Structure 1
Amino acid sequence: MKHHVCTYGDLEKAGKIPVSINGKAIVIVRAESGGVYALRDVCPHKGPCLSDGMLDKGCSANEVGEYIYEKDKEVLRCPWHSWEFDIKTGKSLFAPEKVKVKTYEVTVEDDGVFVNV
């Protein structure tokens, strides 16, 4: 079922907005590209709200002390222990096949943002 959660204008200003749909905590995230994504707003590690964390670029390295910022990968970082989750897939950067958060389908119609739960 599709739920109106916010306007695109509000999301554009805030970057991310926490919402509750049928008792489920969800965070709506706007990527730099303008795309909109929805993830479960609970870190699977210890349970804090991911919406309290920071949006950032994904970072990889080929050796110790090297930082390669991946412009096509945006992450939501947990505020407690800095676990990072790809905003498009919900997969963690450190163990993508084992640790992830649920994602939800998002549509933008006119200025409205809708999440399918």
Structure 2
Amino acid sequence: MKIRVCSYAELEAEGKRAVVADRKAVVIVRARDGRVYALRDVCPHKGPCLSAGMIDRGCAGERVGVYVYEPEVEVLRCPWHSWEFDIRTGRSLFAPERVKVKTYPVTVEDGDIYVEVQ
């Protein structure tokens, strides 16, 4: 079911917006390139709203104390414990195969954003 959740203009200021689509908490995120993504608005760790977190660029490392800046990766950071999720895939940066947030298909039509929830 495709549901209109907000206008594209409503994302301009902060880059994200908490919405409800078919009784599901969803966060709509606008990437730097203008693309729009939708993720479940609940962190799988302790349950806070990811929409209260910040959008940032990715940083990875193969071991403690090593950090590799990944400017092409945009993440939504949990406001409680800073768990980071790729806005495109919902996968966590620290355990992408095990820890992820559900994503939803998004379309932008005539300036309005639609989310498809199952």
- Percent identical pairs in the alignment equals 68
Secondary structure of 2:13's counterpart equals helix
Secondary structure of 1:13's counterpart equals coil
User: Distance between the aligned counterparts of 1:99 and 1:62, measured in 2?
Assistant: 18
Alignment match, 2:9: 9
Deviation of 1:66 after TM superposition, in Å, equals 4.0
1:46-80, Cα deviation, whole Å (9 max, x unpaired) = 00000000100000235654433211100000000
1:34 is the counterpart of 2:38: no
TM-score (norm 1): 0.94
Which moves more between the two structures, 40-49 or 14-23? 14-23
Alignment match, 1:57: 57
Alignment match, 2:99: 99
User: Distance between the aligned counterparts of 2:38 and 2:62, measured in 1?
Assistant: 31
Alignment match, 1:78: 78
Secondary structure of 1:46's counterpart equals coil
5+ long unaligned stretches in structure 1: none
Which moves more between the two structures, 92-101 or 5-14? 5-14
User: Distance between the aligned counterparts of 2:58 and 2:14, measured in 1?
Assistant: 20
Deviation of 1:2 after TM superposition, in Å, equals 0.7
Classify 1:98/1:62 alpha carbon distance in 2 versus 1 (closer, same or farther; 3 Å). closer
Secondary structure of 1:27's counterpart equals strand
**CA RMSD in angstroms, aligned pairs only:** 1.2
5+ long unaligned stretches in structure 2: none
* Aligned length, in residue pairs: 117
User: Distance between the aligned counterparts of 2:7 and 2:21, measured in 1?
Assistant: 16
